[in-house]
Chain A
């Protein structure tokens, strides 16, 4: 009886030590859930969600403080991906945050720029090149289209323009829905649903 208790006790201590050691040895730095959420977010750093950047929003979602439908640049794709990850139901984009727009980049009208550096300070990804009293310009490939530089400009010389479509960024369009799925006139026999025969 005693030996059994003793044996179990020793085993318990041993396993406890083992678990304790493993917890230290294989400790996960940071919050993996936040990283996963952050990986889904588009990294525009625009702040439209109400948080100062994508990472803080990811942290808020992980803490269950923010809803998953507050990211206009990500749009439906991001909402669905987040819903998948977190096991929640997807919902439509929160309109108070903004609306889904085609991808834009900022453009500085260089003849109007006075070189005040205010936009450089606003840019979350350092995509604006320039110095005090020197003309500024956007590094187009780095611009995320967050629009944060538009408001601070004192001479209003920054404009958001749609990304130019080139052959490299061109995508094959989705094939249009087949004839039997298109809404048809009532007397059209081709409008019967699949598997009707």
Chain B
């Protein structure tokens, strides 16, 4: 029996998982149009390699990784590229971002297979990582960090590889269904990841509210004799957090601001392992995933959804009404983001679509409309799984004292929402922390921009100074040459040249330059410039009118 540990705090939530885990997963209907954002991951956006009008095949590369930390995007179905344009994407801002839009042809024709791997153990870890990177695999647990980067030990000794199947948020069951239906494939993916990392041990962590998933994995491990341990962990939110799961399984804490690799551990989601298996074994890039559709829909369930499928299509497919939506959440009720429209597509990090209509009120953490004053009860500090003092951060954020907020380690906050959930005054604490964090980032960015501007300004002043000196030195040299040397011939020549210049200048001063042989277009341009100049002069004389002039 594996010895388990505890993290401080956390909350026990109502699960709401029964509805969506009752029926088997099937592929979602192919939508007529797929919207594939260029940035579905953490890092630089991908760069399109196709152009509008191109025919693409299923699984074909349509955008390559933009940087070392980035991920390529592949066409999730065959069809025609109709646009590369801004479209709403799942983001709390509701702002549009560049997407590749594909009209599907319904044929689902795959691109030809490019690679055959017969035994992954023969590959070098770097080759395996290359396959994973080219397949566009990112962490499917929710953050979307490129998996190949996280599978590179970078000189560290990896003691333990943890596969995260905790899935602690209410409503979400996509990892559970994946484990129940594809336990063997997940296990194979795990072994591939282990090979890439050269990890000594492997543990799969599953919350104890998913006995079927545990059973399925347990059976497969016994059948295959793989050297992998599967461990049931208590169902306490947020056990599914990377650092929390590590703490529960090993009793070790990831240092503040550090990564699990610093203590010799790496943690991946079960969905990522499945994607790795598909990429290595079948040469299939990451183009679909399991998504839970739950909340106010007639048939809550999991679907295997192609990336780019609009969320609205899924809601209709599960018997929900797109027109009576009150709120639409991507992710779980605790950490998910509210969507502004159901036109946004499913992306790599979408694990759940939670529908809330007037009929069905999804219990959520605090909402501002009911907030009462903080009574300093301290429940939030007790619930915080990372030992922070939520109410102090709240007070200092309200006072806009961001230095102080940082002193209370706001950047260790995982935004799990436990403090929100337990707050008797229903204060939306996480909203304050998110605000404070992005405010601090913005200030840092401004500081960097100011430093750059200062540097450039200083260099410019230095350059101007240098040029002035150089010019002075040149003149001096010339003057000396003229005054010192020179026979009468030379002097005469100089004199003549100066005369010529003077004559030319006199001629030039009397008339504007270069106005012979003008084309009508050039003439029009000159008049246009004159007119603008005049108008501007007028504006400057009457400052009252500048505000509403259409400049």
Residue numbers of A with Cβ under 8 A of B are 38, 41-45, 53-54, 112, 114, 124-127, 142, 144, 154-156, 159, 165-167, 169-176, 178-180, 194-195
If A142-B452, A167-B95, A170-B95 touch, does A179 touch B371 (CB 8 Å cutoff)? yes
B492 → chain A closest CB, angstroms: 33
The answer to whether A172 and B453 touch across the interface, beta carbons within 8 angstroms, is no
The answer to whether B369 and A179 touch across the interface, beta carbons within 8 angstroms, is yes
The answer to whether B434 and A155 touch across the interface, beta carbons within 8 angstroms, is no
Q: Which residues of A contact B460 (CB under 8 A)?
A: 124-126
Known: A43-B449, A178-B368. 16 other contacts (CB 8 A): A43-B457, A44-B453, A53-B457, A54-B454, A112-B529, A125-B456, A126-B456, A126-B459, A126-B460, A155-B529, A155-B532, A167-B93, A171-B441, A172-B438, A175-B368, A175-B428
Q: Give chain B's interface secondary structure class.
A: helix
Taken together as a complex, chains A and B put the C-alpha atoms of A124 and B92 apart, in Å, by: 37
The answer to whether B91 and A167 touch across the interface, beta carbons within 8 angstroms, is yes
Asked if B485 lies at the interface with its beta carbon under 8 angstroms from chain A, I say no
B530 → chain A closest CB, angstroms: 9
Q: Give chain A's interface secondary structure class.
A: loop
Q: Which of the four size classes fits the interface of chain B?
A: 35 or more
The answer to whether A194 and B373 touch across the interface, beta carbons within 8 angstroms, is yes
- Chain B's closest residue to A142 (CB) is B456
B94 → chain A closest CB, angstroms: 9
B181 → chain A closest CB, angstroms: 34
A103 → chain B closest CB, angstroms: 9
The answer to whether B434 and A172 touch across the interface, beta carbons within 8 angstroms, is yes
Residue numbers of B with Cβ under 8 A of A are 39, 89, 91-93, 95, 97, 368-373, 427-428, 431-432, 434-435, 437-439, 441-442, 445-446, 449-454, 456-457, 459-460, 529, 532-533, 536, 551
Chain B CB count within 10 A is highest, among A42, A125, A126, for: A125
The answer to whether B457 and A171 touch across the interface, beta carbons within 8 angstroms, is no
Q: Which residues of B contact A154 (CB under 8 A)?
A: 529, 533
Chain B CB count within 10 A is highest, among A155, A167, A171, for: A167
Taken together as a complex, chains A and B put the C-alpha atoms of A176 and B532 apart, in Å, by: 45
A138 → chain B closest CB, angstroms: 14
Taken together as a complex, chains A and B put the C-alpha atoms of A155 and B535 apart, in Å, by: 11
Q: State which of A156, A166, A179 has its C-beta within 8 Å of the C-beta of B533.
A: A156
The answer to whether A156 and B536 touch across the interface, beta carbons within 8 angstroms, is yes
A111 → chain B closest CB, angstroms: 10
- Chain B's closest residue to A103 (CB) is B446
B119 → chain A closest CB, angstroms: 42
Taken together as a complex, chains A and B put the C-alpha atoms of A195 and B373 apart, in Å, by: 8
Q: Which residues of A contact B92 (CB under 8 A)?
A: 172
Taken together as a complex, chains A and B put the C-alpha atoms of A53 and B449 apart, in Å, by: 16
If A179-B369, A180-B372 touch, does A45 touch B532 (CB 8 Å cutoff)? no
Q: State which of B368, B434, B453 has its C-beta within 8 Å of the C-beta of A144.
A: B453
In the complex, 21 of the A-B residue pairs with CB atoms within 8 angstroms, ordered by the A residue number, are A43-B450, A43-B451, A43-B453, A43-B457, A45-B457, A114-B529, A124-B457, A125-B453, A127-B456, A142-B452, A154-B529, A155-B529, A156-B529, A167-B93, A169-B445, A170-B93, A175-B432, A178-B368, A178-B372, A180-B373, A194-B373
Taken together as a complex, chains A and B put the C-alpha atoms of A179 and B449 apart, in Å, by: 38
Q: Which residues of A contact B459 (CB under 8 A)?
A: 126
The answer to whether A165 and B95 touch across the interface, beta carbons within 8 angstroms, is yes
If A125-B453, A178-B372 touch, does A171 touch B95 (CB 8 Å cutoff)? no
Taken together as a complex, chains A and B put the C-alpha atoms of A46 and B441 apart, in Å, by: 25
Q: Which residues of B contact A169 (CB under 8 A)?
A: 442, 445
Return the 4 tightest CB-CB contacts between A and B, nearest first: A194-B373, A178-B371, A43-B453, A43-B450
Q: Which residues of B contact A166 (CB under 8 A)?
A: 95, 97
Chain B CB count within 10 A is highest, among A43, A53, A174, for: A43
The answer to whether B372 and A42 touch across the interface, beta carbons within 8 angstroms, is no
The answer to whether A167 and B97 touch across the interface, beta carbons within 8 angstroms, is yes
Taken together as a complex, chains A and B put the C-alpha atoms of A127 and B452 apart, in Å, by: 11
- Chain A's closest residue to B37 (CB) is A167
The answer to whether B435 and A178 touch across the interface, beta carbons within 8 angstroms, is no
- Chain B's closest residue to A121 (CB) is B464
A151 → chain B closest CB, angstroms: 9
The answer to whether B372 and A38 touch across the interface, beta carbons within 8 angstroms, is no
